Chain A
Amino acid sequence: MSGRPLTHWRHRLAERGVDRQLWLLAPALIFVVALFLYPFFYGLTLSFQPTDGGPFSDYARFFSDAYERDTIWITLRIALPAALLNVLAAVPIAYRMRGRFRGKRLVTTLLVVPITLGTVLTAQGLLNFLGPTGWFNRILLSTNLVDEPVRLTHNYWGVFFSLVITGFPFAFLLVLSYLSGIDPTLERAAATLGADWRRRFTRITLPLLMPGLATTFCLTFVLAFSVFPSAVLVGNPAGETRVISLAAYQAAYEQYDYPYASAIAMIMGFVELVIIALVLGARSRFYTGSTGGKG
């Protein structure tokens, strides 16, 4: 590429696309190795060096104790339905809102608000709003829909709602951008050939959208899977919503047992990656190519 004389091997490398410009990657690579890969492998080796017992005893400890083992199911039982609901609810709404209409900017702006609220403020708001004397229960009581306040906080539902409030807008914006990336002329072509909206959606839009939906599901699931503050604040952290991240946190910062905490973190990462691999594996079976736009 440059005019300077090159040694033989340098020339060969350059032909394969390796030259000095790749040094631009160096800072980012050093960073990711030092702050992500190294701690990860450090944690991995630490998890095999428990304070007492053989190399696998911390893993055995986690899986033999029902109180600890159940955190996996508790987390999945909260995260999977929440992520599914967020993605599935986002599709029809985004389908209706693609294209231009008055107030679209306003609606999308309003939807960004919950993302910025963050989990902690959402938790505080949910405690006030859904609590036994909150407005939601007051409305239900005064319209005689229920006889006594519905318990929606400090249990499963509090955490679930907090995940929907923070996760749904995120899923919606992603789905909307994937939908907008599908060339509208494709659907119009189908319409001129006589397809009604149902067929246009199931035969054209949905297949093109599926890879995007899989990605959206993964990202929403990651958010939901690592639920931590809301599980403590609006959930029941000792029982029903003792999620796995809470177990890891307690091991590290309450028992100061870093090997055990690392073991739990590894299990958590593994479970999450299995789910993501399953979804992405299914995704590769769908059409992944140009959608006319970008997406």
Chain B
Amino acid sequence: MATITQAPPARPPVPTDRRRRVVARPAAWIVWGVVIFFFLNLLGVVASVLVSSFGRRWFDTWLPDGYTTSWYGRAWEEFALLQVIVVTLEVSVLVVGLSLLIGVPAAYVLARRSFPGKRLIFLVFLLPILMPPITYGIPLATVLYKFGLAGNMSGVVLANLVPSVPFVILTMTPFIEQIDPRIESAARMCGAGLRTVFLRVLTPLLVPGILASAILVLVRTVGMFELTFLTAGPDSQTLVVALYYSMSASGIRAQQSVDAMAVIYTSMMLVLLVVALRYVNPTQLVAQVKEDPEH
């Protein structure tokens, strides 16, 4: 494995190549060792939740002394999970749809045009991503409560839009830049207005980009804790927030039913992730990968 992963070899000077390989080998082992250690611990973290959720009783032993699936039924009822999951899906779909509607046209203008104040506008769009959610979440929640918008689903959706719209803009801009502007010019010359250009020319070409950013926003929204936590009422909790409440109130409920809920949350995220990775290459989140021309 270590030899395959080395940097593209320098072909012509053979001696240099050999010397480099001798130097690189221990480093390669260290790197792989760190990666494997990281994954082992990660596996331990995830597996311990998984095993515990199926365990009958698990105290001071390597593995639980019996297995059962009853915690799932219990968690489902105790935490009203059906309602929580429905709310989570509703919030996510609304956030994705609205942030695409708002973000894509803005991304188009920012990718194609130059105008006075463009840098300032770009900075304003960047700020919600650069600020920690709690910082703007608390004033935002205060404002939303003032207008009676928080404590229900509209507040949760509005709060989650704040980082999502800039995220759509940032992920869509490179996709739009890739499209040859001459295609639009041609459509314009044939008499298409801005709306027709958008709906008939650009949107079909942008489908991969739109899917990619939609899925990323979806994953972020389902996983977004802070903003939802600050604005949700009892009927508008998403799964993460419900999980947090059940964890911080542990002691009242069995550890295992909290674990079962965590497993339900993880499997939901994993399904989303598997779907996401069909459309998005994880390394293409910020830049287009220039593949090695040799291969």
| Chain A residues near B (Cβ < 8 Å) | 16-18, 21-22, 24-25, 27-29, 31-32, 35-40, 42-44, 46, 89, 92-93, 95-102, 107-126, 128-129, 133-136, 138, 165, 168, 173-174, 176-178, 180-181, 183-185, 187-188, 191-192, 194, 196-198, 200, 218-219, 222, 225-226, 228-229, 232-233, 245, 248-249, 252-253, 258, 261-262, 265-266, 268-269, 272-273, 276, 292-295
Contacts and interface: CB of A to CB of B under 8 A. Distances in A.
Contacts of B194: 21
Contact of A17 (B45, B115, B127): B115
B143 to A, nearest CB: 4
Contact of B139 (A46, A184, A232, A272): A46
B278 to A, nearest CB: 11
- What does DSSP make chain B's interface, helix, strand, loop or mixed? helix
B4 interface: yes
A116 B269 contact: yes
Contacts of A123: 247
B288 A136 contact: no
Contacts of B108: 24
A101 B290 contact: no
A78 to B, nearest CB: 13
A196 B16 contact: yes
A268 B133 CA distance: 11
30 contacts: A17-B115, A18-B115, A25-B109, A28-B106, A32-B124, A35-B162, A39-B143, A46-B142, A102-B4, A108-B282, A112-B282, A116-B272, A117-B46, A118-B269, A124-B259, A126-B45, A165-B45, A177-B286, A180-B289, A196-B19, A197-B20, A222-B132, A229-B226, A262-B142, A265-B134, A265-B135, A269-B136, A293-B290, A294-B174, A295-B286
Contact of A28 (B28, B105, B114, B286): B105
Contact of A178 (B23, B272, B287): B287
A84 to B, nearest CB: 16
B254 interface: no
B273 A100 contact: no
A111 B282 contact: yes
A81 B96 CA distance: 34
Given A22-B109, A43-B142, A136-B44, A248 B134 contact: yes
Contact of A117 (B34, B248, B269): B269
Given A32-B128, A229-B225, A99 B292 contact: yes
Interface string B153-194: 000001101100110010000100000000000000000001
A43 B134 contact: no
Contacts of A124: 49, 243, 247, 258-259, 262
Which residue among A31, A108, A196, A262 has the maximum number of chain B CB atoms within 10 Å of its CB? A31
A38 B147 CA distance: 13
B10 interface: yes
Given A116-B272, A265-B138, 18 more contacts: A18-B115, A32-B128, A35-B162, A43-B136, A44-B139, A93-B35, A112-B273, A113-B270, A116-B273, A123-B247, A135-B44, A176-B283, A188-B10, A222-B132, A261-B138, A262-B139, A262-B142, A293-B289
